[in-house]
Structure 1
Amino acid sequence: MRIVITDCDHETIEEELDVAAAHGVEVVQARCRSEDEVIEAARDADGILVQYAPVTDRVLEALPRLRAIGRYGVGVDTVDVDAATARRVAVSNVPDYGTEDVSDHAVALALALVRGVVQLDRGVRAGEHALTPVKPLHRVKELVFGVVGMGRIGAATAVKARALGFTVIGCDPHVPPRTEAEEGIEAVEFDALLERADVVSLHVPLDASTHHLVDDAALSRTKEGAVLVNTCRGGVVDTAAVVRALRSGRLKGAALDVFEEEPLPLDSPLVGLPNTVLTPHAAWYSEESYSELKRRTIENVVDVCAGRTPRNILNPEVLS
């Protein structure tokens, strides 16, 4: 069995090599960025592990031996799942490896905005000790925390925000509104959430229905002075629209861990705004999540190639 890691920006692949050795699997690491590079690197692979490299219908057509694709992470927007299914190639992800970590990060970012932590820190370092730049601040228990996307991570974020004292409401673009989510969080429609929430925290996958979900129109309905937190996918947010809302004061602040272009260019207008908190797609990370992600990604692919049902699979019909 031969598995090719098409691309991986992790420091090592020791976890993958340990799993491979335990199953007698050969692992080859490449550094692919384009379709052609994936085709060349994976020409004789039984399975591939993918981080950001494109796996399109053209790539799949050129890899008739391929049986399994493992995506490092939750989202699979770089993989054409429909094309893979048509060619009976199993696609796996690791949907729950970073649930605790991303929800922790989302809440941390929200608190940094709500309490003005980053702006106050910058002021002290510049010799300024006034509260004016962050006024008005309000008690957490007086604020409404809106969770957009009530999957694993969104639900975990909602529970943690409620424990801190926020009034929490939630919506899910993929699920019809209900009176109450399973976690006891009030469920509302998207527009109602925007109108009520002091914190809007995004936790949806990136697809055609969520691309630029937060755009000028959505921001015009957002409660004035609200803050935006994004730890899901950069493309869910229209960056230019958010910049306009931050400059106008419609948004009091934005805390973003993901961007439409990554890494975020230093000349991005987001960098120069005083009311932004920016982290480098780091919400997923802890030592525990890092190890789990790497191990489970290759285990899913090994299982498919060995004729077993993997723990996670997006198109189980290909195994029948």
Structure 2
Amino acid sequence: MNARRARLCRLDLWLDPAFDQIIGAAPGVALSVLPVRGDDARTRAGLRTAHAYHVSAAKDELPRQWFVGPELIAQCPELMVVSSGGAGYDTVDVAACTRAGIAVVNQAGANAASVAEHTYALLLAVQRRVVESHQRLRHDTGFSREDLMGHEIHGGTLGLVGLGQIGTRVAQIAHGFGLRVLAHDPLLDDDTIRSRGAQPATLADLLAQSDIVSLHCPLDASTRGLFDARAFAAMKAGAVFVSTARGGIHDEDALLDALRGGHLRGAGLDVWQHEPPPHDAPLLALPNVVATFHTAGVTHEARRNVARSSANQLLAMLRGERPPQLINPEVWPIAAARIAALT
């Protein structure tokens, strides 16, 4: 493709400066930064002629009209490549892109270290009652250290649902804590799971045996609502539930019931059905829930890595090169032909 004809758009949501620096240094690629709010006509006009679109992966921060779905695609006949600004791609209808000959990439692995670290931040905060201790030191008197007695994670069993790049890092770290690691991932064979530091298990066995269950799977048709009342009931009594995956995989009402009823010891939650959750969300009122605002992958390092990954993959595709994190590989011959036709 003649790079002088490459038109790349993003919206003016916060993005690490590395993205604009890399795109700006690429010969002939025209970058347009369009308003996410306040001037829809300008944004639609910019996207209408775009060959490439970097789109935020944050479903509750991005207005629906800028999601990459059938309606937007119909208005953007020249769109050939889309990059989701994260490991997730909730704002992209991949099937619709595939039908339109649009290649889609995500940034899997770019924030894996940060998300894995955050998993343990949540887990340890729950098990050692860190937030509860902090709040009582600020507001209460007359309590003892034993009133805040927690639990070690050493010697326990960690069950990972999903063993991609993040789950694999969580498994690696687990061995340093003296944890036994089980993993369930229907996309991987048993030998691959073992090579990534875990013992393969069915979901039923994982729930029954794990002292900690941590989610690292994508949100899709097969995982939406996967952790419902039956799944929580199948977990080991006194277990801890952690999710840094996506809201919608676990049923928040069912989790609330499992915690209130005492079946589960606690939960560490970074992801929510609606983000941020309302201040009066019942889960936020429980002392054995440690909550964060989908910030597991929001570190300076992770955001820089994601920006670099997205910029480099977009430029590679515009050069006609197959990118490493292609979500819909079946469309690449079509997308590559569309790109080549622009030369």
Q: Match of 1:239? A: 252
8 Å CA contact 2:181, 2:197 repeated in 1: no
d(CA) in 1 for partners of 2:196, 2:188:
15
Q: Does 1:78 align with 2:81?
A: no
Equivalent of 1:282 in 276, 295, 302: 295
Structural mapping, 1:303-318, within 5 Å: 303-318=316-331
TM-score, length-scaled by structure 2: 0.85
Q: Residue 18 in 1 paired to residue 18 in 2?
A: no
Specify the SS of the correspondent of 1:146.
strand
Once the two structures are TM-superposed, the CA of residue 39 in structure 1 deviates from its matched residue by 4.6
Name the SS for the 1:235 alignment partner. coil
Counterparts of 2:188 and 2:76, CA distance in 1: 36
Q: Which structure 2 residues correspond to residues 129-168 of structure 1 after superposition, within 5 A?
A: 129-131=143-145, 134=148, 137-168=150-181
2:16–2:304: 8 Å Cα contact kept in structure 1?
Answer: no
Moved more, 141-150 or 229-238: 141-150
Runs of 4+ in 1 over 6 A off after TM superposition: none
2:218 to 205, 230, 238: 205
Q: What is the CA–CA distance in structure 2 between the aligned matches of 1:232 and 1:174, rounded to whole Å?
A: 16
- Tell me how far 1:134 sits from its aligned partner: 4.9
- CA deviations 1:181-232 (Å, max 9, x no partner) are 2134211111111111111111000001101111101011111111111001
Mark the CA change 1:267 to 1:29 in structure 2 (over 3 Å): closer, same or farther: farther
> Could you tell me the TM-score, scaled by structure 1's length?
0.90
| 3-state SS, counterpart of residue 221 of structure 2 | coil
Change (3 A) 1:256 1:41: farther
Change (3 A) 1:213 1:249: same
* Pairs aligned (count): 315
State how far apart, in whole Å, the 2-side matches of 1:31 and 1:243 are: 39
Shift of 1:252: 1.2
How many percent of aligned residue pairs carry the same amino acid? Answer: 34
Q: Give the partner amino acid of 1:16.
A: F
Code of the residue aligned with 2:280 in structure 1: it is: D
The question of 1:5 aligning with 2:10 is answered: yes
Structure 2, unpaired ranges of 5+: 1-5, 59-65, 334-343
In the alignment, what sits opposite 1:295?
A: 308
Which structure has the higher relative contact order (CA within 8 Å, separation 6+)? Answer: 2
Residue 319 of structure 1 deviates from its aligned partner by 3.4
Q: Distance in 2 between matches of 1:313 and 1:85?
A: 11
Residue 53 of structure 2 is matched in structure 1 by 48
| 1:215 to 1:308, Cα distance in 2 relative to 1, 3 A | same
Structure 1 stretches of 5 or more lacking a match?
none
Equivalent residues of 1:171, 1:177 under 8 A apart = no
Matches within 5 A, 1:73-152: 73-128=86-141, 129-131=143-145, 134=148, 137-152=150-165
1:271 aligns with 2:274: no
Deviation at 1:255, TM superposition (A): 0.6
Cα distance change, pair 131–222 in 1 and its aligned pair in 2 (3 A): farther
Q: Map Cα deviations across residues 92-126 of structure 1 (whole Å, 9 max, x no partner).
A: 11111011111111012111112222222222222
Q: 1:134 to 1:192 in 2, by over 3 A?
A: farther
For 1:27, which of 19, 28, 31 is the aligned residue? 31
Contact 2:225 2:248 in 1 (8 A): yes
Equivalent residues of 2:232, 2:258 under 8 A apart: yes
Query: 1:75–1:107: structure 2 CA closer, same or farther, 3 Å change rule?
Result: same
Q: Which residue is equivalent to 2:71?
A: 58
Checking the alignment, whether the CA contact within 8 Å between 1:230 and 1:256 is kept in structure 2 is yes
Residues in 2 aligned to 1:69 and 1:180: alpha-carbon distance in whole angstroms: 30
- Deviation digits for residues 117-170 of structure 1, max 9, x if unmatched? 2222222222243356655x4432332111111111111101111211122211
Separation in structure 2 between the aligned mates of residue 76 and residue 15 of structure 1, nearest angstrom: 21
One-letter amino acid matched to 2:320: G
Contact 1:257 1:280 in 2 (8 A): yes
Question: Which residue type is aligned with residue 48 of structure 1?
Answer: Y
Of 112-121 and 304-313, the range deviating more from structure 2: 304-313
